[in-house]
Amino acid sequence: MAHAGTLAIQGLNKQYEVKGEALPVLQDISLTIEPGEFVSIVGSSGCGKSTLLRLIIGLEEGYQGEILLDGTRIKGTNLNRGIVFQEHRLFPWLNVEKNIGLGLLNSGLTEGQQRLTIREHIELVGLQGFETAYPHQLSGGMSQRVAIARALVNRPDILLLDEPFGALDAMTRAHLQQELHRIWEKEGITMILVTHDVEEAVYLGDKVVVMEPRPGRIRRTIPVPLAHPRERTSHAFTTVKDRVLREFADHGTAELAEPPLRRDEQQAAVSAWQFAI
């Protein structure tokens, strides 16, 4: 079993420059996540939940405050943190095995160990028989399983999930939520799930963090004191779900246009790697 990390976020602030003006994206975020805990973060678009995840994984830099993993400040990306994006982001020129193997390229494992680890993870996400399939031959749900395997193959201390099932149909989504829960229990690692699906957040989370936008802040953290397996239609489940939904209802102005952040983000990312060469 992998080592599970403790994530401590203290007084985190993040802002973007838009046309010379500072635009706060995240304001005074403080959050502690225990080893092996599953935390769901929900919020409407523009509340900075994805930015928070990108800061934790290390794709986004320049913040005030602290993000500590086991007491060490996060700087840049690291193999001890894995992420699953909303799109599967598999490389279309590599088959399933090799896509998963990308995560191990810098792991220091021997080739034999790598093969073994890849096989274990293909089994973990239930894709035996598809080792040599190419991404275009896979369904959306299968592709996302491969992406989960790629993120887990390094046995990270913490796994981040950025709306991983957002683009899937309802049936597949429900099934993969179950699968993700099974993987979480088996691996025992810390997971943070960003989603806009309240039911998903309650189904999987030990606690649900509700964020509100402009600037992104934590509105409330709601514990989910329910045993697994959780029954989505049970009274206890819907009670918690309603509590989370009420946080949204109280906040009527949530759905405004999203600020134009993506563009600047994009340019920054491109120039970063271009200077690296």
- Tell me the Cα Rg of the chain: 19
- Residue 275 touches other proteins, criterion: CB under 8 A: yes
The CB-of-219 to other proteins minimum distance in angstroms stands at 28
Q: 113-150: buried (b, 16+ CB within 10 Å) or exposed (e) per residue?
A: ebeebbeebbebbebeebeeebbeebebbbbbbbbbbb
For tokens 């996302």, the residue is 144
Whole-number Cα distances in Å, 147 to 61, 104, 205, 250? 24, 13, 20, 36
Cα separation, 95 vs 208, in Å, equals 36
Q: Which part of the chain contacts other proteins (CB under 8 A), choosing from 3-11, 102-110, 202-210, 249-257?
A: 102-110
Q: Which of residues 205-224 bind other proteins (CB under 8 A)?
A: none
Among 93, 128, 227, 233, binds other proteins (CB under 8 A): 93
- Residue 136 touches other proteins, criterion: CB under 8 A: yes
Between 80 and 178, whose beta carbon lies closer to other proteins?
Answer: 80
Query: Is there a contact between 169 and 142 (Cβ–Cβ < 8 Å)?
Result: no
The CB-of-60 to other proteins minimum distance in angstroms stands at 10
Q: Which part of the chain contacts other proteins (CB under 8 A), choosing from 111-119, 128-136, 201-209, 231-239?
A: 128-136
Among 85, 165, 203, 248, binds other proteins (CB under 8 A): 85
Compute how many residues bind other proteins; rule: CB under 8 A. Answer: 34
- Residue 155 touches other proteins, criterion: CB under 8 A: no
Whole-number Cα distances in Å, 143 to 21, 99, 104, 132, 152? 40, 10, 18, 13, 14
Cα separation, 84 vs 148, in Å, equals 6
Between 153 and 224, whose beta carbon lies closer to other proteins?
Answer: 153
Cα separation, 175 vs 54, in Å, equals 26
Between 106 and 128, whose beta carbon lies closer to other proteins?
Answer: 106
Burial of 174 (0-12, 13-18, 19+ CB in 10 A): middle
- Residue 130 touches other proteins, criterion: CB under 8 A: no
- Residue 111 touches other proteins, criterion: CB under 8 A: no
User: By the criterion CB under 8 A, which residues form the site for other proteins?
Assistant: 57-59, 77-79, 81-83, 85, 87, 89, 91-94, 102-103, 105-106, 134-137, 151, 266, 269-271, 273-277
